[in-house]
Structure 1
């Protein structure tokens, strides 16, 4: 659960920094939040990896949700366009993230099952391990 909260922090920090970058074009004081936001995003992402989440899952979710949230919030805050095709793209991104996460969970379950099977074979009395 901790890794997911840290990942949420990374996403929020990155989206905040990206939106602040747009705001800084008109008001340069926002550049301070850009720097802090990106530094925080990478700090959170490193903590996510240290907590044990795989790189492919963490980076995929971070990048995909960052793109989707930035596009939606830029439309709401800055009046940038959000066309039906763009919304379809956001749905495809979300679907891709779900596929990566589900695939990761299946791979983790298969790895745990293989480790359990291997430890059961190692713990069997001699001659019952199935080895010839």
Structure 2
């Protein structure tokens, strides 16, 4: 399995866990709470596999974190009635742009 496929799966698991945190209502709801634990465990296992496959930790974490932030913000805006202003969108674009620059700077 390619390193970027593993990283995408780690990101998907992290986003699932983070959205489930909101749905767990402070860990007072059982099934969303279970999803949080399983999803975060899976996210870290997959991220560890990405790192053991040779991706630089700074690049892997930057992609994982930035994509997670952007996707959670989008899920919040689209499905959880959370606000998304143009300034917030600009911030997300800057975060993603920074990750792209990290990736380009590490390319040889």
* Equivalent residues, number: 106
What TM-score comes out, normalization by structure 1 length? 0.77
- 1:40 offset after TM fit, Å? 0.5
- 1:98 offset after TM fit, Å? 0.3
Supply the distance in 2 between the matched residues of 1:22 and 1:83 (Cα, whole angstroms).
20
What TM-score comes out, normalization by structure 2 length? 0.94
Larger Rg belongs to: 1
Task: For CA contacts below 8 A with separation 6 or more, give which structure has more relative contact order.
Answer: 2
SS in 1 for 2:83: coil
1:25 corresponding residue in structure 2: 25
Segment of structure 1 superposing worse, 24-33 or 73-82: 24-33
Paired residues for 1:71-110 under 5 Å:
71-105=73-107, 109=108
Give the unaligned 5+ runs of structure 2.
Answer: none
Paired residues for 1:32-51 under 5 Å:
32-51=34-53
Give the unaligned 5+ runs of structure 1.
Answer: 110-132
CA root-mean-square deviation: 1.3
Paired residues for 1:9-20 under 5 Å:
9-20=9-20
Segment of structure 1 superposing worse, 81-90 or 27-36: 27-36
1:6 corresponding residue in structure 2: 6
SS in 2 for 1:47: helix
- 1:77 offset after TM fit, Å? 1.1
Q: Which runs of 4+ in 1 moved over 2 A?
A: none
Supply the distance in 2 between the matched residues of 1:25 and 1:82 (Cα, whole angstroms).
22
